[in-house]
Structure 1
Amino acid sequence: MEKFKSANDSRVSITELMLPSHSNFGGKVHGGHILNLMDQIAFACASKHSQMYCVTASVNRVDFLHPVEVGELLTLRASINYTGKTSMVVGVRVESQNITSGTKRHCNSSYFTMVAKDENGKGVPVPGLLLENEQGVRRFARSKQRKEEAFSRDTQFDSSQFKLENHLESLSSENVKLDLR
Structure 2
Amino acid sequence: MASLLAAHGRGVNLRPLMSRSLAADVASLMPTPWVEDKPFGWMDRSGTLDLPPDVSWLSHLDDVRPLLQAANPDSWAWPGEQGVQRWAGVHNGSTLVATAAEAWSSIDVGFMMGVAVHPSHAGQGLGHRVCQFVASSLLSLYGTCALFVENYNAPAIALYRKLGFTYRDVTTLLPAS
Report the TM-score when normalising by structure 1. 0.29
Report the TM-score when normalising by structure 2. 0.29
Higher relative contact order (CA 8 A, sep 6+): 2
